[in-house]
Amino acid sequence: MTQVILGGLDGNRTWRLADYVARGGYEALRKALSGMTPEQVIEEVKKSSLRGRGGAGFPTGLKWTFMPRNYSGDKYVVCNSDEGEPGTFKDRDILRYNPHALIEGMILAGYAMGATRGYNYIHGEIWSVYERCEEAVQEARDAGFLGQNILGSEFSFDLFNHHGYGAYICGEETALLESLEGKKGQPRYKPPFPATYGLYGKPTTINNTETFASVPWIIRHGGQAFLELGKPNNGGTKIFSVSGHVSRPGNYEVPLGTPFAKLLEMAGGVRGGRKIKAVIPGGSSMPVLPGDVMMQLDMDYDSISKAGSMLGSGAVIVMDETTCMVRALERLSWFYHEESCGQCTPCREGTGWLYRVIHRMEHGQGRAEDLDLLLSLSDNIQGRTICALGDAAAMPVRSFVNHFRAEFEHHVTHKRCLVEGSARQEKVA
Amino acid sequence: MDMPFLSPHDTDLGTPEKISDQQVSLHIDGHPVTVPRGTSLMRAAALTGLSIPKLCATDTLEPFGSCRLCLVEIEGRKGFPASCTTPAEEGMVVRTQSTQLAQLRRGVMELYISDHPLDCLTCASNGDCELQDMAGAVGLREVRYPSIEHHHLTAQKDDSNPYFVYDPSKCIVCNRCVRACEEIQGTFALTLSGRGFSSRVSPGESQPFMASECVSCGACVDACPTATLVEKSILEAGQPEYSVVTTCAYCGVGCGFKADMKGTEVVRMTPWKGGKANEGHACVKGRFAWGYATHKDRILTPMIRKHITDPWQVVSWEEAIQYAASEFRRIQGTYGRDAVGGITSSRCTNEETYLAQKMVRAAFGNNNVDTCARVCHSPTGYGLGMTYGTSAGTQTFKSVEHSDVILIIGANPTDAHPVFGSRLKKRLREGARLIIIDPRRIDLVQGPHFKADYLLQLRPGTNVAIINAIAHVIVTEGLVASDFVNTRCDMESFQAWKAFVVQPHNSPEAMEPVTGVPATQVREAARLYATGGNAAIYYGLGVTEHAQGSTMVIGIANLAMVTGNIGKEGVGVNPLRGQNNVQGSCDMGSFPHEYPGYRHVSDDATRHSFESAWGLPLRKEPGLRIPNMFEAALDGSFRGLYCQGEDIVQSDPNTQHVIAALSSLECLVVQDIFLNETAKYAHVFLPGSSFLEKDGTFTNAERRISRVRKVMPPKGGMSDWEVTVALSNALGYPMHYSHPSEIMDEIARLTPTFSGVSYDLLDRLGSVQWPCDDQNPEGTPLMHVGSFVRGLGQFMITQYVPTDEKVTPKFPLLLTTGRILSQYNVGAQTRRTANMAFHSEDRLDIHPHDAEDRGILDGDWVGVSSRSGNTVLRAHVSERMSPGVVYTTFHFPESGSNVITTDNSDWATNCPEYKVTAVQVTRVRQMSDWQKYHQQFDEMQQHLLRPGPEQMTPS
């Protein structure tokens, strides 16, 4: 089975430039600079059907065409390595075990879009990864892959790593730009989109780490080959961060369209032989799906979307039959309450109330009207805010209540949990 | 004729105006509307009379899009875009009201209110609260969230600022205050600390307001939609009843204000959005420091006395006026017609100044009239008059928005002209380049998001050397704007000037030892000024108050001409005038040699027009300037002086000399709102009226004439113009005016550049920039377009001549003086306000090296001695100074800054050389002899005032 990014790696031992080159690294760059126009590079990416791996799944090639071609000033490419969504840990491993794939991908993107400068914004809580990226960038610079006239061509490009301080909101692309500019990380309203008004007000394209890291393979092997790894409109492989109640949690790079059942099997199945209850298929902000529904699905953008959730960042959180869904939601809501930037009123005030209402349900103080209140509050947040954090906070609530309403009602009426073996099974109030 | 009362609530269109030559048409709630491209949906709706609910949007700030109340529906688009951040587009169909929008807005309001105290009835903003208004607008009827422990209702108030209170419990995190501090004021003192639900406005690093970088401009208070930031005066007095538009009486920016009134009591001053000089911004003085108008020190009754050692006698207006008139007539009878004179005030209105000079010329029968512009911008009048033909700045303040390079010489706008300073900073943040020529590291050298490209930190007194060096570079490096010079300037004068500046002694290298500025810096700065696009010069008293003040003004004028930086937006020569009406007092003929409109008294045609209008023959010889009056007083030929609203004892140089001159007068009549330092030497005191107590006009530094409107009756019973009329009548020269508008009509009849000005016009336009005549019926924002007022621009040679004031081993340091943000000139007003909390004494700024050499620590008392005198100040050790230069302010009479300054003055205009005094500084333990004298004299004069003015009743 072909692995575009994680293939051929051997843990900590093979991240250096020499190892990457031995795996065929920087051949794509050589190929592009010696024989492809920027337009041809974009064309290959379009052909590959590569979709944004950060969560939204927007077609990458199309996004790259949004950058103005004949712009006289600076243009930027920015990598969003501010991976903060609970359950997601793939970018960390890409940066740690295969940093040159990202570097080469960003250089190719710079070439394709005429950008001369790239920034890799790394989550603030993975310091050792930041340090490794610094080393890798220096290796690339020393080898002439970064800097003036790369590989003797007309093209010059340099790349800089930047680490955040752990705020989830800085993973939102415009908040990331604000933070990169040295300001408080708060999303900008759109339009204008970054392609016209991005970093320092200049045309900017922001892609996820995994997206950039897929590009070298696409250029080397062709867009069509990448597309064929997956299925139509869902080209290539995808790294899934499988976590929760599985025996072997970890990152699994599989072709898009791989059945969930197979992925679960790769992760060792549900821990302790228990039954699967629910799965969040794309990171904590995506709607939860019941386990039996998931077992019938394929892991690709379109299949998951059809079932009412989203593939998101590919963080698969598996919950077994002992999970109290009220308690799980309480934990998730706390996260969004804690991470709201505070700009938009519905999110700033609303995420607090989501958490407080769920908290009192979980603690046996829920009121009959609370479920309606939760849903109405979610309605008031979702789609009402500048960025998607509001949606991220509201979507889990709606899906949890939707699929597991009985559990919530039980908490309210009986002041205790319905689930055998869960922490709140004893009556608390 | 006066403007009707306004509502204290401004119309708010939600987002700022966008200028575009393209228009777009759309439908909002079925109404067709056409707006310039780029206009927000919110503003487009507001322009059609629809009001979309909003809280974080206001038309003085860029849209932010965070409150989510203004969401709308657009046909063909999914979701609910925010109307403040969505530009109107051709053909759009927008709905601002629907069931879903109503539900959505109620949801947002419910969330706001779930964390807001519900003490509306006892809240300071009751009646002026946008949150309250919006709750009503969206129909909020219930809050389904119970009260909780984790809200902000118990947050501590910060009342550290003397003028406003910050109550975090009422904060709705709309960010307007933070954005106002950034976008409008440019101080960046505020931020939102914390994240999400914990977000709260925080000054500096979560400090109290007073400990932060806040400059108390009040923009945040203005921007706040709730009572989170609210004026203490409103907390005390409640909401205003009505507002009257008027003009600030502090610096020469001339900000438009709304006096927010309750009966005849001012409860708040808010900058007027329609004020073209300030466009809705203000500073700590104009917005907050107006309490002096009702201070207990106001003297409200006329007083007379025979000798200055006699107790003051409270008398009626009639008796005081009669006494003053009879004394002036007696003196003229004994010593001759020229033995009396008058000083007009740059603090008073145009109409009052006009009357004061008219009284001197017509009733006294001489031309002995002068004004405080003598000691500030008289060289500007001379220099710009000679080169361009008009004694005033060339641009509007707004013009700076088009500048690419800004050259600031001897001015400190962020302190002395703060509202213009904020405009300037905004342009700098947008990327304009900046050159500063100043001996001090002023705040504009580096600030939030800007930095000067060049600071030419020259030795005081070497301005002309620098300007010649810059001109040398421009000419020798081929940077002359030949087209402009060839078509617009007098070529003979240009050739002569060119031959002069190219001489090697004017090169930056030759001048380096004189100015102390590295030649390479001068060369680079000169190239930037000449080639960086639109280049504008702004200058202040650091240019004029020198022995070569007029030469320097001419040098500046030459520089703008030789680079073609005249006659369009974004360029020009812009004097930053110090006082509210110093431009106006000069325009109104306050100088001994000029009638209103800068026309020489010896010009027959002009004089005849005044003679025929005033009905008597007038003198063709110029009268005495202020320093000449002092000389004449000391030699016995000048015996009586009418001094209106100016404190010459504190503000003029060489205090001892001024005191000696005034002490020799037989009749000194002082008209002022306080018993100022000059009044302590007076024989007749006539109560003045503050700007709140009279009608009139002020003219600001951009030649803008704006209305001053009476919001309360004169506290002493008479407006200043009425006092002058009464005095003139008593002198036997009757004046007949029932309203200041009639005085303006007379000015317009007699002054060509004012011929179109009337109160009707001012009411209609808000303000007007002279010249205002048949050709320019709505005034002239931009001067010298196409040709100079004098025809061809005149180059003049500016030979550098070192000042006589030189450092010696005995006086090794150079003292320069100026003012700071929170105090104003002699401090008579600001010292009687809570601005004392910001700055309560004059201090001597000294560089750490000079301090260390003398064993001086920060806060030590130091003696400052010059060839004129000595005084004692507290030292402030600061790296803003360059070594060898010390600095102080002159806001406090007891510090005696002008005891040290000398008699040296500008060769052309006698403007004193305040900016260069050689001094020595030493640690001391006690007051100087002069300060002891001042203290004793002050105590005596306070004693002679008893019974105190607070016990007197107006006559």
Concatenated DSSP letters of B93-149: EEES--HHHHHHHHHHHHHHHTTS---GGG-TTTTS-HHHHHHHHHT-----SPP-T
- Summarize the confidence of residues B137-149 as an average pLDDT: 85
* Other beta carbons within 10 Å of B190: 26
Q: What is the pLDDT confidence band of residue A11, given thresholds at 50, 70 and 90?
A: confident
Report the C-alpha gap between A368 and A387 in whole angstroms.
32
- pLDDT at residue A429, rounded to an integer: 42
A174 close to A387: Cβ distance less than 8 angstroms: yes
Which residues from chain B sit within 8 angstroms of residue A352, using beta carbons? 150, 196-197
- Please state the φ and ψ torsions of residue A137, each to the nearest 5 degrees: -65, -40
- Measured distance CA(B522)–CA(A72) in Å, rounded: 32
- Cβ of B82 and A189 within 8 Å? yes
The pLDDT of A407-429, averaged and rounded, is 75
Mean pLDDT of chain B: 94
Mean pLDDT for A243-258 is: 96
Digit-coded pLDDT (tens) for A180-236:
999 999 999 988 999 999 999 999 999 999 999 999 999 999 999 999 999 988 999
Rounded to the nearest 10 degrees, what angle do helices A209-221 and A38-48 cross at? 100
Task: Say which residue the tokens 């807001």 belong to.
Answer: B116
User: What would you report as the CA-atom Rg of chain B, rounded to the nearest whole angstrom?
Assistant: 29
**Phi and psi of B824, rounded to 5°?**
-130, 115
Measured between alpha carbons, how far is A308 from A318 in angstroms, rounded to an integer?
17
Q: For chain B, how many residues are written? A: 955
Question: What is the model's pTM?
Answer: 0.93
Under the banding of pLDDT at 50, 70 and 90, the label for residue A428 is very low
Query: What pLDDT was estimated at residue B300?
Result: 96
A413 and A425 Cβ atoms separated by less than 8 Å = no
Closest CA to B217 of B192, B185, B247: B185
For position B376, what pLDDT does the model report?
86
Q: Does A167 touch chain B (CB under 8 A)?
A: yes
**Residue B861, helix vs strand vs coil:** strand
Judge whether residue A426 has pLDDT over 60.
no
Q: pLDDT category, A424, cuts 50, 70, 90?
A: low
Strands A315-320 and A237-244: parallel
Average pLDDT over residues B301-320: 96
Distances B871 to A127, B218, B928, B930 between C-alpha atoms, Å? 60, 36, 5, 7
Angle at B373 between CA B370 and CA B375, to 5 degrees: 100
Cβ pair A219, A236 in contact under 8 A: no
Asked if the Cβ–Cβ distance from A343 to B175 is below 8 Å, we say: yes
Q: Which residues are CB-contacts of B635 (< 8 A; sequence separation ≥ 6)?
A: none
pLDDT tens by residue, B643-702: 999 999 999 989 999 999 999 999 999 999 999 999 999 999 999 999 999 999 999 999
> Residue B146: is the preceding peptide bond cis (ω within 30°)?
no
Encoded tokens for B497: 């000037």
3-state helix, strand, coil split of chain A in percent (to 5) is: 50, 15, 35
**Cα–Cα distance measured from residue B575 to residue B378, given in angstroms and rounded to the nearest whole number:** 11
End-to-end CA distance of chain B: 29
Share of chain A above pLDDT 70, in %: 98
> What residues in A contact B145, CB-CB < 8 Å?
353, 356
Residue among B69, B191, B196 whose CB faces A348 most closely? B196
CA distance A374 to chain B (A): 11
* E strand segments, B656-797: 667-672, 684-687, 696-699, 704-708, 767-769
Question: What mean pLDDT is predicted for residues B880-895?
Answer: 93
Q: Residue B195: which of A341, A344, A384 has the nearest Cβ?
A: A341
Please name the residue ranges forming H helices in B298-435.
Answer: 317-335, 350-358, 378-387, 413-416, 418-429
Within 8 A of A375 by CB-CB distance, chain B residues are none
What is the rounded distance in angstroms from the CA atom of residue B786 to the CA atom of residue B790? Answer: 12
**Confidence at B1, pLDDT banded by 50, 70, 90:** very low
Distances in Å between the Cα of B399 and the Cα atoms of A234, B184, B277, B432 are: 56, 16, 11, 13
Give me the residue from B65, B112, B175 closest to A189, CB to CB: B65
Task: Inspect the interface and report whether the beta carbons of B192 and A342 lie closer than 8 Å.
Answer: yes
List CB contacts (< 8 A) between A384 and chain B.
68, 71, 80, 104, 108
The residues of B whose Cβ lies within 8 A of any Cβ of A are 55, 63-69, 71, 79-80, 82, 85, 104, 107-108, 111-112, 114-115, 144-145, 148, 150, 172-173, 175, 191-192, 194-199
Helices B549-562 and B463-476 cross at an angle (nearest 10°) of: 20
| Helix%, strand%, coil% for chain B, nearest 5 | 35, 15, 45
With pLDDT > 70 as the criterion, what percentage of chain B qualifies? 98
Q: Contact B197/A350, CB-based, under 8 Å?
A: no
Residues 6+ apart with CB under 8 A from A406: A418
User: Is A131 touching B (CB cutoff 8 A)?
Assistant: no
**Residue A349 with chain B: CB contacts under 8 Å:** 111-112, 114-115, 197
Across the strands, what pairs with B791? B788
Task: Report the chain B residue with the minimal C-alpha distance to residue A345.
Answer: B67
Chain B contact present for A342, CB below 8 A: yes
Domains and CATH numbers, chain B: 8-97 (3.10.20.740), 303-376+593-765 (3.40.50.740), 378-575 (3.40.228.10), 813-941 (2.40.40.20)
Sole residue written with tokens 């705040």: B443
- Structure token pair of residue B96: 């601002």
Residue A104 CB neighbours (<10 A): 28
Residue-wise DSSP of B294-332: G-TT---S-EE-SSTTSPPEE--HHHHHHHHHHHHHHHH
Residues 6+ apart with CB under 8 A from B272: B245, B255, B256, B257, B258, B278, B280
For the ranges A203-212, B509-518, B754-763, B926-935, which has the lowest average pLDDT?
A: B926-935
Q: Give how far the C-alpha of residue A155 lies from the chain's centroid of Cα atoms, to the nearest Å.
A: 30
Cβ–Cβ < 8 Å for B572, B394: yes
Is residue A193 less than 8 Å (CB to CB) from chain B? no
By CB atoms closer than 10 A (0-12, 13-18, 19+), residue B122 is exposed
**Which residues are B304's β-sheet partners?**
B313, B684
Which string of DSSP letters, residue by residue, matches A1-47? ---SSSTT--GGGG-SHHHHHHTTTTHHHHHHHHH--HHHHHHHHHH
Q: Which residues of B touch A347 (CB under 8 A)?
A: 196
CB B471 within 8 A of CB B558: yes
DSSP 3-state assignment of A208? Answer: strand
Residues whose CB falls within 8 Å of the CB of residue A126, separated by 6 or more in sequence, listed in order? A92, A95
pLDDT tens column, B364-414: 999 999 998 888 888 999 999 999 999 899 999 999 999 999 999 999 999
CA atoms B892, B894, B895, B897: torsion sign: positive
Inter-chain CB proximity A348 and B71 less than 8 Å = no
Which residue in the block uniquely carries the two structure tokens 């000067």? B452
Measured distance CA(B109)–CA(B136) in Å, rounded: 10
Separation of CA B676 from chain center = 21
Question: Residue B947 — pLDDT band, cuts 50, 70, 90?
Answer: low
Q: Are A208 and A122 in contact (CB under 8 A)?
A: no
B66 → closest Cβ in A337, A338, A386:
A386
Contact between B168 and B227 (Cβ < 8 Å): no
User: What's the complex ipTM?
Assistant: 0.91
In this complex, is the C-beta atom of A344 within 8 Å of any C-beta atom belonging to chain B? yes
Give pLDDT tens digits for B222-257: 999 999 999 999 999 999 999 999 999 999 999 999
Distance, in Å, from the CA atom of B353 to the CA atom of B587, rounded to the nearest integer, reads 9
In this predicted structure, the answer to whether residue B954 has a pLDDT above a threshold of 50 is no
**The two structure tokens encoding residue A426:** 């004893």
A228 CA to chain B: closest CA distance, Å? 34
Residue B122 contacts by C-beta under 8 Å, 6 or more apart in sequence?
A: none
Counting one residue from A and one from B, how many pairs have CB atoms under 8 Å apart?
91
- Sequence letter at residue B645: G
